A = this chain, B = another copy of it.
Amino acid sequence: MASQGRVKVGVLGATGTVGQRFITQLSDHPEFELVALGASASSAGNSYKDAVAGRWKQMQPIPQNVRDMPVQACEPEHFKECSVVFSGLDSGPAGAIEEAFRAAELRVFSNAKNYRQDPLCPLVVPLVNPDHFSILSHQRSQMQPPLRKGFIVTNANCATTGIVVAFKALEQAFGPLETIMVSTMQAISGAGYPGVSSLDILNNVVPYISGEEEKVEWETAKILGGLKENNTAFDLHENSPLTISAHCNRVPVIDGHSASISLRFAKRPAPSPEQVKKVFEEYTCEAQELGCPSAPKQAITVHDEPDRPQPRLDCDWQNGAGMNVGRIRKCPVLDIKFTSLVNNVMLGAATSSVMNAEIALRKGLLS
């Protein structure tokens, strides 16, 4: 793999917050070589450091090898050198641009929401359902004209990503889930930059994030479900209906989405908290088995201290690539309850796309 050098990649929406994360992760990636940057027309023509001036909000400086790279308009002709593009575009422009890149035979790994509900696009959390890549040959075949290489893969909403890894581990071990109640406490970085006004969130909780509850409820079913009809459609968990109720709240935390989760299994009797803990600790996923460089060593870290995981202390564990749980106990209403934490800007966003591409590389989808 990569014997003749790294796969050339580009980043769309390079000046935004997700784009900055892509750049940080790709500037010295062992398998991907960052060669092209795309942003809005107003940025095009500038060097990256000028285009992003005043908006670079990462804790390390702009990587040396990216500072002077030119920023281009998000048009496929400027990305001819690339096999892959990572999209950190806002949902406004993302739809048309990503479609154009796919039509130009590029593989698009997108963090935007536009194609998450598309019946041909896999919605892949890399620690959960990379088997959904199997629909890609069908996706290509349905384009006009049919494509040979181009496709769109999306990752999930950051709040969904933060909880669905645990659900997958449980379904794999104990059979289908029947009911899930989740109440989230989401970080401000989930809203991008400038995103949430400080006057709205300092010393405050906002009990509403537009569209978020619907995303969590819908995406979870698509991700946990399988493929059907000879890998041409998603079954949306339809064989074992799953009812989910989400309460989504914004809290004054910079990075890290926490959630309070209660759930009920279809099968009786339900597993004990100890059995659930063991399953979480032993859960491994394809990204790990394939040796993806961005995969965490431990997919789900179970914290033993009664007051963990906490966003400030646990969010950067394993470079934010795994999921964290704690306080696994019986739920008086459903079967089991626990608390969860995900790094919303890493596994919840850029790391998911990058790990998806690493998996795709190993599955031969990038050649």
Nearest CB in chain B to that of A209: its residue: B307
CA distance A208 to B188 in the complex (A): 21
Contact A181 B310 (CB under 8 A): no
Of A159-167, A267-275, A325-333, the one with at least 4 CB within 8 A of chain B: A325-333
A244 within 8 A of B: yes
Contact mask for chain A residues 184-217; partner B; CB cutoff 8 A; 1 contact, 0 none: 0100110001111111111111111010000001
Which of B188, B258, B317 meets A207, CB within 8 Å? B258
Q: A245 and B307 in contact (CB under 8 A), knowing A199-B189, A260-B183, A332-B217?
A: no
Contacting residue for A202 out of B203, B308, B337, CB 8 A: B203
Which residues of A (105-154) have their CB < 8 Å from a CB of B? none
Contact status A188-B183, CB under 8 Å? no
Instruction: Check if A3 is an interface residue, CB within 8 A of chain B.
Output: no
Q: Within residues 201 to 255 of chain A, which ones have a CB less than 8 A from any CB in chain B?
A: 201-208, 210, 217, 243-245, 247, 249, 251-254
Contacts A327-B208, A332-B245, A333-B243 given; indicate if A188 touches B181 (C-beta within 8 A): no
What is the distance, in angstroms, from A54's C-beta to the closest C-beta of chain B?
7
Instruction: List, in ascending order, chain B residues with CB within 8 A of A179's CB.
Output: 333
Q: Sort chain A's interface into a size bin.
A: 35 or more
Q: How far is the CA of A201 from the CA of B188 in the complex (A)?
A: 11
Identify which of A34-42, A56-64, A95-103 touches chain B.
A56-64
Taking A181-B181, A198-B198, A199-B188 as contacts, is the C-beta distance between A207 and B249 under 8 angstroms?
A: no
Q: What residues on B are CB-neighbors of A260 within 8 Å?
A: 183, 207, 247, 249
Copies of this protein, total: 4
| CB atoms of B185 and A249 under 8 A apart | yes
Q: Is A305 interfacial (CB-CB < 8 Å)?
A: yes
A193 touches B197 (CB 8 A): yes
- Whether a CB of chain B sits under 8 angstroms from the CB of A297 is no
Contact yes or no, A199 B195, CB < 8 A: yes
Q: Is the CB of A183 within 8 A of B247?
A: yes
- Given the interface contacts A61-B317, A183-B260, A197-B195, does A251 sit within 8 Å of B205 by beta carbon? yes
| Given the contacts A243-B333, A249-B258, A313 and B57 also touching, CB distance less than 8 Å | yes
Footprint of B on A, CB under 8 Å? 17, 53-54, 57-61, 179-181, 183, 185, 188-189, 193-208, 210, 217, 243-245, 247, 249, 251-254, 256, 258, 260, 262, 305-314, 316-317, 326-327, 331-334, 337, 339
